[in-house]
């Protein structure tokens, strides 16, 4: 296929992807579900698990192998811009303000699922449907531990925000714990990816390069950008020229972290943290968020769905394993966070809400899983099991949260824009 043919097909793919996402969102919104759930499921539906199985010819026509590099590139651009915005909204002060209780909830929410995940991995690592042959026991344990510890931080933040809980004890606790957990899980993943090099010096480059990048961005760049932050504060808006400059920085960070073999999303996230706060951050959100979430991110969900083959789970033992993974994920994250919050003196209702929100894996889990699959750490069988776990833990979050927060929350959620954001 020529470049032109591929671009014609891309328009059809995008029209189809956006339409299916929209239709799925309509159904799931009626069921009281968040948008991220509907997009995760829409992605799986458009992949081999449903569309490729029911209509193999249409599926082969719409998503031929030749078009994969373009879809992958678009999805990566979307992810990078999205993770950048997550970084932009990452609030260090908030974590400092609730350090003690946040630390204990987030510690529970990372130690318990990590341990359970690592234990499961040590038991599963020989299975060629689950882990690739070249994955060591240690790498499998670290990856599975990190993957279990993920929290759908963006979704959690959006729900807290929409319910008007941002300034409450519950809201601050959940936001601080969630962001700490995600940051920790991403660091572990960076170590896994770095260690997953054949030559040890490459791991040194990756870890050393990552640390250097983090230091340069968070200490040097951040300070250097401060005057620009003040300029935007005075002028009230970000100029097109400054936006181009910021986007160039984001792309450079994404490239560098990809190049040293950690991953583009880290670079983008760290660049986001380095941006000035206040009006500058708000303007970045205003200019980048709408098109990124409405247009580019759905491509990532589909790309992820194209990799998800639920049909691979064709034995009873694999389905049993899927159940065990789901149980471990929920016990390790949701229940452990509930317990930590209760232990810290929160009411049953608040602790349940925190547990449900922390338990949702959302988009973040799909990112980490796709990295693992693409790097050859895990195999399509475990990928499918983990995607199901991610979808189900995310599905559970909104109903539990709504139930413990009752009707007032439900009334608030029906305000415009209440469909939630990809997590």
Binding site residues, a second copy, CB under 8 A: 3-4, 6-8, 10-12, 14-15, 18-19, 21-22, 25-26, 35, 68-70, 72-74, 76-77, 80-81, 235, 237, 239-241, 243-245, 247-249, 251-252, 254-255, 258-259, 264, 286-288, 290-295, 298, 374, 416-417, 419
Helix (H) or strand (E) run with residue 139 in it: helix 137-149
Query: Angle at the Cα of 40 (from 288 to 269), degrees rounded to 5?
Result: 40
Q: Give 293 or 330: the residue with its C-beta nearer to a second copy.
A: 293
Q: Give 80 or 358: the residue with its C-beta nearer to a second copy.
A: 80
Q: Give 114 or 303: the residue with its C-beta nearer to a second copy.
A: 303
- The minimum distance between CB 213 and a second copy, in angstroms, equals 14
DSSP state of 165: -
Residue ranges of alpha helices (H) inside 47-168 are 51-54, 56-62, 68-89, 92-97, 99-124, 137-149, 153-162
Tokens of 365: 């889990």
Q: Give 77 or 339: the residue with its C-beta nearer to a second copy.
A: 77
- The minimum distance between CB 67 and a second copy, in angstroms, equals 9
CA distances in angstroms from 327 to 156, 323, 342, 388, listed in the order given: 21, 6, 21, 12
User: CA–CA separation, 100 vs 344, rounded Å?
Assistant: 9
Q: Give 366 or 392: the residue with its C-beta nearer to a second copy.
A: 366
Tokens of 56: 């193999």
- The minimum distance between CB 84 and a second copy, in angstroms, equals 12
CB 173 within 8 A of CB 105: yes
Closest CA to 98 of 176, 1, 8, 180: 176
- The minimum distance between CB 343 and a second copy, in angstroms, equals 38
User: CA–CA separation, 61 vs 70, rounded Å?
Assistant: 15
- The minimum distance between CB 23 and a second copy, in angstroms, equals 10
User: CA–CA separation, 415 vs 295, rounded Å?
Assistant: 23
Q: Give 161 or 295: the residue with its C-beta nearer to a second copy.
A: 295
Q: Give 68 or 348: the residue with its C-beta nearer to a second copy.
A: 68
Longest CA–CA span in the chain (Å) reads 63
Tokens of 393: 């833990």
Residue 378 φ/ψ, nearest 5 degrees: -110, 165
- The minimum distance between CB 359 and a second copy, in angstroms, equals 25
Burial of 167 from C-beta contacts in 10 A (0-12 / 13-18 / 19+): exposed
- The minimum distance between CB 108 and a second copy, in angstroms, equals 34
């Amino acid at each position: 296929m020529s470049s032109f043919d591929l671009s014609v097909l891309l328009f059809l793919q995008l029209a189809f992807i956006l339409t299916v996402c929209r239709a799925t969102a309509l159904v799931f919104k009626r069921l009281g579900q968040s948008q991220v759930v509907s997009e995760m499921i829409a992605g799986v539906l458009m992949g081999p698990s449903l569309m490729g199985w029911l209509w193999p010819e249409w599926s082969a026509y719409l998503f031929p192998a030749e078009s994969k590099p373009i879809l992958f590139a678009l999805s990566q651009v979307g992810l990078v811009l999205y993770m950048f915005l997550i970084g932009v909204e990452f609030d260090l002060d908030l974590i400092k303000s609730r350090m003690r209780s946040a630390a204990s909830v987030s510690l529970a929410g990372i130690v318990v699922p990590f341990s359970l995940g690592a234990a499961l991995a040590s038991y599963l690592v020989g299975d060629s449907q689950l882990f690739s042959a070249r994955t060591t026991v240690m790498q499998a344990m670290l990856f599975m531990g990190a993957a279990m510890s993920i929290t759908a931080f963006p979704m959690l933040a959006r729900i807290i925000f929409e319910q008007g809980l941002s300034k409450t004890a519950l809201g601050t606790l959940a936001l601080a714990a969630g962001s700490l957990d995600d940051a920790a899980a991403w660091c572990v993943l960076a170590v896994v990816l770095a260690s997953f090099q054949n030559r040890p010096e490459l791991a040194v480059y990756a870890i050393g390069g990552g640390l250097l990048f983090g230091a340069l961005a968070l200490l040097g760049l951040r300070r250097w950008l401060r005057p620009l932050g003040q300029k935007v504060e005075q002028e009230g808006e970000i100029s097109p020229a400054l936006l181009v400059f910021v986007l160039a920085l984001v792309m450079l960070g994404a490239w560098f972290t990809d190049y040293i073999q950690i991953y583009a999303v880290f670079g983008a996230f760290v660049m986001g943290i380095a941006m000035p706060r206040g009006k500058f951050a708000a303007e970045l959100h205003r200019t980048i968020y709408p098109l990124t979430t409405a247009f580019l991110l759905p491509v990532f969900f589909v790309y992820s769905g194209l990799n998800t083959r639920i049909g691979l789970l064709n034995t009873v033992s694999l389905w049993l394993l899927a159940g065990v993974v789901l149980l471990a994920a929920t016990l390790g994250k949701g229940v452990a966070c509930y317990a930590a919050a209760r232990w810290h003196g929160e009411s049953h209702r608040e602790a349940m809400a925190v547990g449900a929100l922390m338990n949702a894996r959302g988009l973040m889990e799909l990112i980490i899983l796709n990295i693992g699959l693409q790097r050859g750490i895990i195999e399509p069988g475990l990928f499918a099991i983990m995607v199901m776990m991610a979808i189900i833990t995310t599905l559970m979050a909104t109903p539990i949260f709504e139930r413990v927060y009752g009707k007032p929350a439900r009334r608030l959620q029906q305000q415009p824009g209440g469909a939630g954001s990809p997590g």
